[in-house]
Structure 1
């Protein structure tokens, strides 16, 4: 039986259940298992930091830490090696003050002696002692969605009232791990009033913030005096005052959600009054206060979204009055200015980052591309996703760039990140590898070659693949009919009885990259195997990907070119 499965090669091993999670597949989108902890991605175009040109390099990481980056990196013997040909590697994206994976806490019951003009802090939404870790779930579908969009770290803030609690910085790795990088990384705050009680208005929130801050300051002074002076009454410190202590002592910042210019001014006014550290988050309309933000040196997190253009598209071109036309012009100007705000921040020299709060993961890259089209440089856009948030959150030592010793957080794309057709194929978070479906670029997915030279891949290719089961291979036969590429591939029968052949599907050639799929039945298990490789003359190098097993290096040689070549 053992010899029979050795003859069957890697598919036989799958059918035997010997290999169920290896290589890329060790971290299917659930990220629950990691069979090995050492990986090497070879010959990929690596962009180590914003503004740096991409260069062909190898990235090696182990136990979630990058061991080396470069062209002459020594690959450990135990490493799982993947061909990164035609792929681009960027630092993992970082989210500031987001709410992915956060659940809303239960509203506390009001006491019988409740007085709306002076409610208990917890009832009024003043809970600075709480931690976002109490509300965060790494297995949330929101976390999956944002990881698919390239995010590997998120500073999450708790849900609640005007002072909902402390933020925590989480790595979006395995769903069954703690994922905590830093607890109590800032105090979340906003101008959200309490319904039916004080503070119900923005002015009331500001007054209450002053009251809480000043009482917390007095409580700390009382504690200090009690600790050093005899005869002083023992202080009665409330949970709110204890929760505010780190802010008063300037150990952590207040992360004020302030979408409008008015709320930005209010938050900065409070900061000037008390001198606490401040981060502005959730910015939407900030064009008029850019100079104020710059003069105060306040770090900012802008929303990763752009306003919709429904109002602009709804404008009529005929049958409208001059007043209506003027109104249309103002609406259009406001919309265009909103799209240019990020570029204005860059021009002002303000190093901003993004927050995913209220944004949609599926629109993330489209939003970035829209901002770039409206004046934001690609360097600043990448910085806002990587190095800037790392600096703002104080985690530059471990994240934000691809360097030896930093966390293995990577975004792996099919093309340069800012190209419209670029797609995220893999995301590495905390050393766990997540694979995502990549849509075929060929028209209708029918194998058309998108401008590749006709007949350049037709013929018989002899291929070999190196897997944990050893070397195996067969023949790839490609032909084109009416512009559609098709063919067959032979491989070791999973049942161990020689070679079998399957038809090729979804074949396409984009530039020098050939990709296709074929179906295999392995011990009653139906799966789709994909091959992607870069063609140079009569040779090809790339990877062979098997669901639940992973990706393995594959090489092929065109032994019998088509007569049409």
Structure 2
């Protein structure tokens, strides 16, 4: 699409020519006399850093009309120039913040509606979703504000990239100078990058209410923009394609790119997956946790913007601190300052920002801390200049000091990255003096004699000067240090006669010589001279960073019980073990099992051990297939439900797999090796499911079991009609059980009509297609078509028999088979019908009467369904029960005398069949994946413990090793607590909320607006009954 508001090349060329004149031609009329003040300035005798890694000593910087005219090595100033002595100064290019909202005064505060809002009010070509603001071009609302600008200027920043930081697609940013001029004179790039985030911000619209919903909205919106670019002006459904300014503005995003804020390193990778799909260049506003998955972040290949919001240490002062404090937080407190250095070492480019800092004054202390933790000064300077200039689209005019570039620079005394001070900031050739050049720099070491006693005084740099005095080999701190432009006064305790508190005042007298006025404790005044030690008066440079002694471990994931890396695949022979095969072979006593190349290679007696195979004595132990959970909600981040709308088949649990969830490790300890992560039950047609293997230590993509066919969650009953959501939640259709059937039928009918439109378009000739818009790709309907085409399989939350019959009838009417009814507590009533339809059942072992719609549940349900020919499994729907599915299966032995081996099948091969992965897992058979558990005891016994849990021939859990890990975790935590306590008040410095948000325990009916929590700071959820 055609873009507007860009400065033309001709305009820029003419502007550059006119900079030689005294004043640029402006559209504003002069009121009174014209200002013809010469603007030619030369700063001599300075060290000039032209760009990172390049410097010129004893040079002259010449600026005129807001731009750099030249950098002279001969220290000559042009005739007529105002000359400034830059002796002792280092001049750096002005710093650029590529992520801000400076100058954009748009209030997001509004009274929130108690009644849910499902549709956005359409006006001015805006998007259908209120979190999409991509039509905004923020230069049109930009206003300068010198008071706000001082936040950046005081830290050396001269320009920023700015937009309103609200919503998912936030609009196109503007890059501006921080000079106190009219907006027309400070806009450097009128349309720079788009801004965005997964957080819907101030939007009151229900959708999206989860992280996966936001990801789905980003994916659909980018797809819509591609469609719109090719469709606007054509006919669609016998009407013209709507004008949509939001989509129009995104049609060029593959060229402009996007700056996208993420909450952690996992969401960075999630965003990158989506933007890669649409070939959108992306820059991520990072979280500070990137070091935790450094290789994956590096492989993403995108630039980052780093806030330096290092966290304050957790509170560990209490006697019970070791019980309450989280090891992951202690680790992050210690490791966060190393994040910039680790990224730089890995070759990841990044810029720095003031964003997310509680106080801008903490920027330089934190950056200097990052330098001490290994970040090179050259990389730090690049992160302030050249890299953000490129991100903000102004690398042709800012970020360096070169002829023709903007005269935006910083004058510094001392080493900027150690203890130097920013003296002045120049904005478009105009100086903003932070420290008067007339002010004497008192930092240094002094020596003098007082009453024949040698006195040494050291003045240390900092925002507030400090120091110490040494006399007679005794040192004490200076007190009441007060610095003026030409004097320094302080109080020092001396033992010189008369002993007590002496008051001193230093004033410059000659080069390196200071006049000292000293007042004794008795009030007698003494005058003397102090010599500044010239060899030590210059500020010490930082040099190379000293190695940091870390107490913490860095593991994958970087939480307690994380691993150094994925376990090695092993070839093993387990001898003399009792094997529960989950096949027709039944239970095999004193049998050997050979595992090679991640698969079961042989099962039998007295197997020979091939060379290089490790033997394990299995005598007295039991070996079963790895336990499989058909219904789980562990390892999900940012909400289990996208419960905002009745049909959300476009959202994907696979987008939000949380590989850091400790329940993965705990489930391994209970013998679980595979789980289907299901969307919740907040709507009739929910989101797409994800089957994972519990490969603790791997990232989310490695955990996903790609061989599993696609599946999706449907739901019936009271949750989907919002029965228990509160009096205000009565707007969304359906509100009755009858409505649940109706909306499902309507959704499938919409999918069929969508398919017909696509097929009709494909049949058109090329000339016909040129006049007609292609059907808009709709990920929601595409998913429903997969169901109708038996490419995606339905797992339906269900309780009541009449609803179960209804859903099977709907499926049969539309020509597909329901795969699995989950929960299915009245399955025993309709088991014959289920068997005839071909549906399986995955039930609770003995849950009943916990809400009205399960009053008829009985603990014999699993046995009765199995007896009627229904493929039956036991599921957990609980991070707690998932660790004990072996004993949940055993309950059917108790209640209805089920054969023990058949009971074990309900948590192994049967769920594998329901997930259609039984050719790979679920039983101990030659050629299948070596996913197995070694139990200490009869596996259906409450006394049985999973001693080892293996996946694909890799040992992911070992109970003996776990004991060692428990001790190591305790030792590491105690060592970190000691480090925090030893740091004293320094440990309290930092962001109080500089840690990841803890994920709650998700349940089927946890209806939780994840983003509303962020915006209001309040929890908002329903549920807890499954």
TM-score where L is the length of structure 1: 0.67
In structure 1, C-alpha distance between the alignment counterparts of 2:514 and 2:160, rounded to whole Å: 36
Q: How much has 1:118 moved relative to structure 2?
A: 6.2
In structure 1, C-alpha distance between the alignment counterparts of 2:267 and 2:328, rounded to whole Å: 23
**What per-residue deviation string (whole Å, max 9, x for no partner) do you get for residues 244-274 of structure 1?**
1221xx2211211113112212211111221
| Matched residue, 1:13 | none
Q: 1:452 to 1:485 in 2, by over 3 A?
A: farther
**Secondary structure of the corresponding residue to residue 95 of structure 1:** strand
Structure 2 residue 198 is the aligned partner of structure 1 residue 197: no
Q: How much has 1:185 moved relative to structure 2?
A: 0.8
**Secondary structure of the corresponding residue to residue 280 of structure 1:** strand
Equivalent residues of 2:120, 2:205 under 8 A apart: no
Q: How much has 1:514 moved relative to structure 2?
A: 8.2
Q: How much has 1:70 moved relative to structure 2?
A: 2.8
In structure 1, C-alpha distance between the alignment counterparts of 2:320 and 2:242, rounded to whole Å: 68
| Matched residue, 2:294 | 290
Q: How much has 1:139 moved relative to structure 2?
A: 1.6
| Matched residue, 1:68 | 70
What is the aligned-residue RMSD (CA, Å)? 3.9
| Matched residue, 1:91 | 93
Q: 1:441 to 1:344 in 2, by over 3 A?
A: farther
Q: 1:398 to 1:320 in 2, by over 3 A?
A: same
In structure 2, C-alpha distance between the alignment counterparts of 1:397 and 1:280, rounded to whole Å: 22
Equivalent residues of 2:138, 2:172 under 8 A apart: yes
Which of 134, 137, 152 is 2:158 aligned to? Answer: 152
Equivalent residues of 2:176, 2:187 under 8 A apart: yes
Equivalent residues of 2:95, 2:399 under 8 A apart: yes
| Matched residue, 2:365 | 366
**Secondary structure of the corresponding residue to residue 330 of structure 2:** helix
Q: How much has 1:410 moved relative to structure 2?
A: 0.7
| Matched residue, 1:38 | 40
| Matched residue, 1:188 | 195
In structure 2, C-alpha distance between the alignment counterparts of 1:90 and 1:339, rounded to whole Å: 24
In structure 1, C-alpha distance between the alignment counterparts of 2:108 and 2:289, rounded to whole Å: 32
In structure 2, C-alpha distance between the alignment counterparts of 1:93 and 1:59, rounded to whole Å: 17
Instruction: Give the number of the structure whose residues are more often strand, by fraction.
Output: 1
Equivalent residues of 2:129, 2:205 under 8 A apart: no
Structure 2 residue 451 is the aligned partner of structure 1 residue 451: no
**Secondary structure of the corresponding residue to residue 211 of structure 1:** helix
Q: How much has 1:304 moved relative to structure 2?
A: 3.2
Equivalent residues of 1:441, 1:510 under 8 A apart: no
**Secondary structure of the corresponding residue to residue 47 of structure 1:** strand
**Secondary structure of the corresponding residue to residue 193 of structure 2:** strand
Q: 1:535 to 1:69 in 2, by over 3 A?
A: farther
| Matched residue, 1:315 | 316
Equivalent residues of 2:62, 2:72 under 8 A apart: no
Which of 242, 246, 264 is 1:260 aligned to? Answer: 264
**Secondary structure of the corresponding residue to residue 306 of structure 2:** strand
| Matched residue, 1:212 | 221
Equivalent residues of 1:452, 1:510 under 8 A apart: no
Answer with 1 or 2: which has the greater Rg. Answer: 2
Structure 2 residue 149 is the aligned partner of structure 1 residue 143: yes
In structure 2, C-alpha distance between the alignment counterparts of 1:109 and 1:509, rounded to whole Å: 64
| Matched residue, 1:507 | 507
In structure 1, C-alpha distance between the alignment counterparts of 2:281 and 2:381, rounded to whole Å: 26
| Matched residue, 1:47 | 49
**Secondary structure of the corresponding residue to residue 131 of structure 2:** coil
In structure 1, C-alpha distance between the alignment counterparts of 2:421 and 2:171, rounded to whole Å: 36
Equivalent residues of 2:377, 2:417 under 8 A apart: yes
Q: 1:210 to 1:70 in 2, by over 3 A?
A: same
Q: 1:405 to 1:440 in 2, by over 3 A?
A: closer
Q: How much has 1:375 moved relative to structure 2?
A: 1.2
| Matched residue, 1:469 | none
| Matched residue, 2:303 | 299
Equivalent residues of 2:446, 2:533 under 8 A apart: no
Q: How much has 1:315 moved relative to structure 2?
A: 2.7
Q: How much has 1:133 moved relative to structure 2?
A: 2.3
Q: How much has 1:369 moved relative to structure 2?
A: 0.5
Alignment of 1:120-519 (within 5 A): 120=122, 121=127, 124-178=130-184, 179-193=186-200, 194-195=203-204, 197-223=206-232, 234-247=240-253, 250-309=254-313, 311=314, 314-316=315-317, 323-324=322-323, 327=325, 331-359=329-357, 360-420=359-419, 422-437=420-435, 450-452=444-446, 507-508=507-508, 512=512
Q: 1:237 to 1:376 in 2, by over 3 A?
A: same
Q: How much has 1:302 moved relative to structure 2?
A: 0.8
**What per-residue deviation string (whole Å, max 9, x for no partner) do you get for residues 171-223 of structure 1?**
11233342101122111111113445212222221222222222221111124
Which of 101, 104, 107 is 1:102 aligned to? Answer: 104
Equivalent pairs counted in the alignment come to 426
Equivalent residues of 1:110, 1:123 under 8 A apart: no
TM-score where L is the length of structure 2: 0.38
| Gap regions ≥5 residues in structure 1 | 1-32, 227-231, 456-483, 489-504, 517-533, 537-565
**What per-residue deviation string (whole Å, max 9, x for no partner) do you get for residues 436-464 of structure 1?**
1369998xxxx978424659xxxxxxxxx
Q: 1:430 to 1:218 in 2, by over 3 A?
A: same
Equivalent residues of 2:46, 2:59 under 8 A apart: yes
Equivalent residues of 2:62, 2:77 under 8 A apart: yes
Q: 1:219 to 1:65 in 2, by over 3 A?
A: same
**Secondary structure of the corresponding residue to residue 251 of structure 2:** helix
In structure 1, C-alpha distance between the alignment counterparts of 2:261 and 2:442, rounded to whole Å: 49
**Secondary structure of the corresponding residue to residue 340 of structure 1:** helix
**Secondary structure of the corresponding residue to residue 51 of structure 2:** coil
Q: 1:200 to 1:452 in 2, by over 3 A?
A: same
Equivalent residues of 1:135, 1:158 under 8 A apart: no
Q: How much has 1:328 moved relative to structure 2?
A: 7.3
Equivalent residues of 1:411, 1:428 under 8 A apart: yes
Q: How much has 1:349 moved relative to structure 2?
A: 0.9
**What per-residue deviation string (whole Å, max 9, x for no partner) do you get for residues 318-371 of structure 1?**
9568x549x576543321111111111011011211122222321221111111
**Secondary structure of the corresponding residue to residue 144 of structure 2:** coil
In structure 2, C-alpha distance between the alignment counterparts of 1:417 and 1:174, rounded to whole Å: 25
Q: How much has 1:41 moved relative to structure 2?
A: 0.4
**Secondary structure of the corresponding residue to residue 52 of structure 2:** coil
Q: How much has 1:84 moved relative to structure 2?
A: 0.7
Equivalent residues of 2:269, 2:297 under 8 A apart: no
Q: How much has 1:396 moved relative to structure 2?
A: 2.1
| Matched residue, 1:470 | none
Q: 1:367 to 1:106 in 2, by over 3 A?
A: closer
**What per-residue deviation string (whole Å, max 9, x for no partner) do you get for residues 399-452 of structure 1?**
2121222111110012121232x211111111121111369998xxxx978424
**Secondary structure of the corresponding residue to residue 367 of structure 2:** helix
| Gap regions ≥5 residues in structure 2 | 1-34, 450-481, 487-504, 517-531, 535-1026
**Secondary structure of the corresponding residue to residue 124 of structure 1:** coil
Q: 1:181 to 1:265 in 2, by over 3 A?
A: same
* Structure with more relative contact order (C-alpha pairs < 8 Å, separation 6 or more): 1
